[in-house]
Amino acid sequence: MNSLWLSRFTATSAIGCGLEPTHAALRQQRGGLAPCAFDTVDLNTFVGEVAGVDSVQLPAHLAEFDCRNNRLALLGLRQDGFMAAVEAAIGRHGRRRVAVLLGTSTAGVLQSEQAYRRRDPTTGALPADFNYRTTHNAYSVADFVRNVFKLEGPAAVVSTACSSSAKVFASAARMMKAGLIDAAIVGGVDSLCLTTLYGFNSLELLSTTPCQPFDTGRSGISIGEAAAFILLERPPSHLDADAVLLLGAGESSDAYHMSSPHPDGLGARMAMAAALKAAGLQAGDIDYINLHGTATPSNDAAEGKAVATLFGDRVPCSSTKGATGHTLGAAGGLEAILSALALQQGFLPGGINTCHVDPAIPIQYLTANRDTAPQRVLSNSFGFGGTNCSLVLGRAG
């Protein structure tokens, strides 16, 4: 695959709005999970809620898009000079040559959940202020972002559960290679809602403590929310040494079960191998792996087997979900950015909340930060329906 330049990126999650607080939280090993006080939820669990989402106001001409998910999207777009970088890219390439490819699992379904509480007692109708297209529909977040920048190029939402915002990198790379576009806004936005909280609860996959990836006592996920945006372009002839490139993407399917991973992590292994192949690299070229690491007993065991088969215990690995929670459809984009920060800032983030690393999983799991400068990193994202995607990112120099 031809390398692509992450010319600008920004992340907003429970550990901070924008890169500076995000980097500081990782350096201090500070997490953003807190007991769930979201909406009317009565579950004994921790969530990674982003502060200040409710007070975000959409511009008047985009008011029809108003919902928690698009407020979170706008909050994310406003960080780190991302909007100015997009405008500059539009100036370079034109409105039709910049795509919007974003991942989400639930978009603004919270609007429907809340509208169902306000049904007309006689007719059962939803309230008149409910707008399905601009909130509930999965495409609403890409439509919103496309409208924010008045873009006229290709756009799509990829919705493959928890691999969504990793797979958008692969779609963007294909569109770029085919010659349809010159730049793409990729990433993902997923926000707290009742469907995922009560849904994971129904599967008995919610932890009652802040989640503990790869811990002997891990007992499930903590759900988080995030907005992650990356501007992808073809690399110019000169790049600073700390510029970050997408070197490869690999995708696969488990073909095994709707909500459980292949027990040996076969699909996960295929995705990682495909990403390495696309990057033209060997397992030995990878300096750090940002694991999917959801902290459910079966996911971590399967991913651990897959990583151990390909990499042995040579490569330092961690899951950052102990800090951010599992941000579902935004996880791939968020964790690509956390991996990019590791490359730029020269450190490996240790996974937090994990006290006793599971000795049955033969990988090198980091619980403390390590001051070593990685050159190339791999980020894993896997999801319901057996969907897998791995990304390889690297420094330009």
Partner 1 sequence: MTAPRTILTAWIDGIGLMGPGLPDWPTARSILAGNAAYAFSPTLAPPPQSLPPAERRRTGLSVKVALAVAQEAIAAGQLDPRQLATVFASSGADGDNCDAICQVLASDDRHISPTRFHNSVHNAPAGYWGIAAGAMTPATVLCVYDGCFGAGLLEALTQVAAEGNSTLLIAYDAPYPEPLHAARPLPAAMGLALALMPQQSAQSLARIQVSLSDAEPDVLADTGLDALRRAIPAARGLPVLQALARGEARQVVLDYLEPLRLAVVVEPCR
| Distance in angstroms (rounded) separating the CA atoms of residues 213 and 357 | 9
Q: Which is nearer to partner 1, 39 or 242 (CB)?
A: 39
Residue where the block lists tokens 């809602």: 193
Q: What share of the chain is helix, strand, coil (3-state, %, to 5)?
A: 35, 20, 40
Nearest-approach distance from CB 99 to partner 1, in angstroms: 10
Nearest-approach distance from CB 343 to partner 1, in angstroms: 25
Q: Which is nearer to partner 1, 341 or 389 (CB)?
A: 389
Nearest-approach distance from CB 305 to partner 1, in angstroms: 16
Contact by Cβ (8 Å): 168, 187: yes
The residues binding partner 1 (CB under 8 A) are 42, 93-94, 96-97, 105, 109, 112-113, 116-117, 119, 124-126, 130-133, 137-140, 142-143, 152-161, 167, 170-171, 173-175, 177-180, 182, 194-195, 198-200, 202-203, 251-259, 266-267, 270, 383-387
Cα 82 to Cα 75, 76, 77, 107, 113: the distances in Å are 11, 9, 6, 21, 31
Distance of CA 312 to the CA centre of its chain: 26
| Distance in angstroms (rounded) separating the CA atoms of residues 362 and 81 | 41
Which residues 6+ apart lie within 8 Å of 374 measured at CB? 287, 288, 342, 343, 346, 348, 395
Contact by Cβ (8 Å): 104, 68: no
List the structure tokens of 51. Answer: 């502060």
Backbone angles phi, psi at 186, to 5 degrees: -120, 175
Question: What is the residue-wise DSSP string for 127-147?
Answer: PTT--IIIIISTTHHHHHHHH
Instruction: Tell me which residues are annotated as active site.
Output: 162, 292, 326
Residue where the block lists tokens 């599967």: 203
| Distance in angstroms (rounded) separating the CA atoms of residues 48 and 59 | 26
Cβ-based neighbour number of residue 62 at 10 Å: 15
Nearest CA among 154, 156, 157, 213 for reference residue 358: 213
Q: Which is nearer to partner 1, 55 or 117 (CB)?
A: 117
Count of residues in the chain: 397
Nearest-approach distance from CB 239 to partner 1, in angstroms: 23
Q: How far from each other are the two terminal CA atoms of the chain, in whole angstroms?
A: 18
